[in-house]
Amino acid sequence: MKRTLLAALFVLPCLALPALAEDAGPATPAKSTHTRVTWQQHFAQANSAHDGHLTLEQAKSGYPSLFRHFAEIDAGGKGFVTVEDVKAWHKQQRAMHQPAPENKLRPRHTFQPTTGAHPAVKASSSTTVPGRTVTVGPDAVRPGDAPG
């Protein structure tokens, strides 16, 4: 009786393993095949007439972000926009959001060298400390240096 019970305890888990393996599914998760669509691809998908011109109605139904700026992009009032119009508008938007190239008040990175009227290395200066004069800067003499 004990032998039969022990045999059943060992056999039942072995019979259940194939059923568990089928339910487990793939060991690694499937990678998403979703890729980001460029604005040119979005434009082509929204252009249902395939004529290179995107009308206000086509933009409204197929390209909502372009629809919101349609009046700005269609500066000539043609009633449609082309890929060249959108490129020009993107270029204009980038130019509006970039700072001026020679903005002197713009903060610089700590290690960015300065140019022009502001030299990167300051001139030497002397300070009197009670009992001695201390020179600070590139002309300073360090202890142990021979006078030149």
Q: What is the distance between the alpha carbons of residues 137 and 122, in angstroms, rounded to a whole number? A: 7
Q: Does the residue 136 lie in any domain?
A: no
Q: What is the distance between the alpha carbons of residues 118 and 140, in angstroms, rounded to a whole number? A: 21
What confidence score (pLDDT) does residue 58 get? 92
Q: What is the distance between the alpha carbons of residues 22 and 7, in angstroms, rounded to a whole number? A: 25
What confidence score (pLDDT) does residue 110 get? 73
E strand or H helix that includes residue 53: none
The answer to whether the beta carbons of residues 43 and 73 sit under 8 Å apart is no
Q: Does the residue 127 lie in any domain?
A: no
Q: Does the residue 88 lie in any domain?
A: yes
Q: Does the residue 74 lie in any domain?
A: yes
Q: Does the residue 143 lie in any domain?
A: no
Segments of the chain assigned E as strands: 54-55, 80-81, 125-129, 132-136
Compute the CA torsion angle 70, 74, 80, 82 (nearest 10 deg). Answer: -100
Splitting the chain (148 residues) into consecutive groups of 10 residues, what average pLDDT does each group show?
64 62 57 81 90 91 91 91 92 83 66 58 57 62 59
Q: What is the distance between the alpha carbons of residues 86 and 41, in angstroms, rounded to a whole number? A: 13
Helix (H, G, I), strand (E, B) or coil at 17: helix
Cα 104 to Cα 46, 111, 121, distances in angstroms: 44, 16, 18
Domain that holds residue 48: 39-97
Domains: count for the chain: 1
What confidence score (pLDDT) does residue 3 get? 72
State if pTM tops 0.75. Answer: no
- The alpha helices in 25-134, defined as continuous H runs, are 39-46, 56-62, 64-68, 70-73, 83-97
What confidence score (pLDDT) does residue 79 get? 92
What confidence score (pLDDT) does residue 37 get? 86
CATH code for position 81: 1.10.238
